[in-house]
Amino acid sequence: MGEKKKFTVWGRNPIIEALRAGKPLEKIYVAHDSHPPRELLKLAKERGVKVQRIPRKKVEELAGTKKTQGVVALLSPVEYVPEEVLFRETIDKKGFFVVLDHITDPQNVGNIIRTTELFGGVGILLPKDRSAPINETVVKASAGAIFHLKVSKVPSLQRALKQFQKMGGWVASVETGGKDIREIDFPFPLAVVVGAEGEGISKSVLELSDIVATIPTVGKVPSLNVGSATAIALWEINRDRLPKME
């Protein structure tokens, strides 16, 4: 059993059964030249599991076998929680969670999860679309930290964050063009939003943010890697909350 196989299910019937059983599936990949059963597509839609078409060679690589019947599913290594659970715990602890606004690089996602856990975060909020699947690369890059966090996936970050604000939470986006992060006294409970390289944070999320915090830099390169930016921001946000070293 290779490392990969722990997180994959292939073949039409096994995937239909996994969907029926309510197993947490990240994504279903279908070969371009394959026609999956209607029942599989219907169940995937009902369960909110994304179906993506990719070359057959890729399907076989993911499954580690040619006997895939043109379809492979990624099993999630984590159990997702409803966003209300993540929000409620953050509010009760007067803590924070990190929002990954369409970050597609699994290495970055894993690094951010690791940093979140290190600085005492409650969990992670992800969008269902255009986000790296939580796979073995993410688990490895997080050094297992993901198993200590509440992870929630939502169809709309904007809607979910508005709900968090209604419950008494604050939203801070880490983005260029805001206020110097060193000068901000951050309120808690807090959602800390970080965005994908290049695209940054979505306009709709920026508009609802209570705070836009900017990390000042002096170099020639225009922006920090999102993993590094998150680490700096979380340290600064939590600086006064971290235990004093003896």
CATH 3.30.1330.30 segments of the chain: 4-75
Class of domain 83-237: alpha beta
pLDDT at 2: 34
β strands within the chain, DSSP E:
8-10, 25-31, 50-54, 71-75, 96-101, 123-127, 150-154, 170-180, 190-195, 211-214
pLDDT at 6: 60
Would you call the peptide bond into 127 cis, given omega within 30 degrees of 0 as the criterion? no
pLDDT at 3: 39
CATH 3.40.1280.10 segments of the chain: 83-237
> What kind and span of H or E run contains 229?
helix 226-237
Two structure tokens written together for 145: 């930290």
Residues 6+ apart with CB under 8 A from 15: 9, 25, 28, 40, 71, 72, 73
Q: What is 4-75's CATH number, 3.30.1330.30, 3.40.120.10, 2.40.110.10, 3.40.50.261? A: 3.30.1330.30
What one-character DSSP code corresponds to residue 30?
Answer: E
pTM, full prediction:
0.80
CA of 246: how far to CAs of 118, 196, 243, in Å? Answer: 19, 37, 9
Per residue of the chain (246 residues), give pLDDT as tens: 233 446 888 999 999 988 988 888 888 999 999 999 999 999 999 988 889 999 999 999 988 889 899 999 988 888 889 999 999 999 999 999 999 998 989 899 999 999 999 999 999 999 988 788 787 788 888 888 888 999 999 999 999 999 999 999 999 999 989 999 999 999 999 999 999 877 889 999 999 999 999 999 888 776 778 999 999 999 999 988 888 777
- Cα–Cα distance between 40 and 229 in angstroms, integer? 40
